[in-house]
Amino acid sequence: MIDAGFAIVPGVFDCSETDAISRELDGESLRRSRAGARHLLSVPAVAALAGDPRLTAMAAAVLGCEPVPFGATLFDKSSDANWLVVWHQDRALPLIERRETPGWGPWSEKAGVVYAHAPATALSKVVALRVHLDDSTPENGPLRVLPGTHTLGILSDAQIQEAARRIEPVTCTVGRGGVIVMRPLIVHASSKVVAAASRRVLHFEYAAATTFDDGLRLTTAAPATAHPTRR
């Protein structure tokens, strides 16, 4: 489904559905930062959306098995909450405990949740689905990707910059209700908003299983908090 490391699927949800989830989020007492909020699987409406068959079918097509949702983050980019994200790979995974394990690290803690940079073998069992609550246009800081870079493994900063010089980027614009499917190791970035239009995205993460081969386990239970990584 995503040989290039990403896919754009338009029109998955209609306007009434995106309006409904927007109202649910507005009605929740989320601890928001200017960028949005993380750990939203504790919000019933978000958890229900993560389990929607349209999303789980996409994740299953990539992972080859029944997917397990383990993360949900709201990114809320606008002219009032604006940021630039440089080229990078998504490598940090939330874990139940910190246990020094070869290939994992560095470790960190965010809002009481332990994270570690994961090896490529673990990240190959993860996929992200980005549900767009607003139109994503060239003017409101859309996702940009370097196709095929998910096959290159873990890259250093220098290797990422070399890939950015060598590979033509793709700007991922999609209408409200559309979904972007992406592998965590695809090199991606986003620019600043240059228009008044907001870009709200619910970023879901799914795994093939909650336990990896080396025994480390993903956590799926965390309170809804602010300060997401900006994307």
Q: What is the CATH number of the domain that holds 10?
A: 2.60.120.620
193 pLDDT band, cuts 50/70/90, is confident
pLDDT digits (tens, 9 = 90+) for 141-189: 899 999 999 999 999 999 999 999 999 999 999 999 999 999 999 999 9
Q: Which domain holds residue 19?
A: 6-207
Residue 221 included in any domain: no
The Cα–Cα gap between 231 and 227 comes to 12
Distance of alpha carbon 52 from the chain centroid: 17
Query: What single letter denotes the amino acid at residue 191?
Result: S
Kindly report, residue by residue over 4-57, the tens digit of the pLDDT: 999 999 999 999 999 999 988 887 666 555 556 888 998 999 999 999 999 999
Main-chain phi, psi angles of 230, to 5 degrees: -75, 135
Count: domains in the chain? 1
Is position 220 within any domain? no
Both tokens assigned to 208: 């093939």
Quote the percentage of the chain above a pLDDT of 90: 71
- Residues in contact with 168: Cβ distance below 8 Å, sequence separation at least 6, in sequence order: 147
Asked if the structure places residue 212 within a domain, the reply is no
Alpha carbon distance 183, 162 (integer Å): 20
**32 within domain boundaries:** yes
On whether residue 159 sits in a domain, the answer given is yes
pTM of the model: 0.91
Terminus-to-terminus CA distance in the chain, angstroms?
Answer: 23
* Residue 75, domain member (yes or no): yes
In a domain, 20, yes or no: yes
pLDDT at 5: 97
If pLDDT is split at 50, 70 and 90, which confidence band does 196 have? low
Q: Has residue 38 been placed in a domain?
A: yes
**What type of residue sits at position 51?**
G
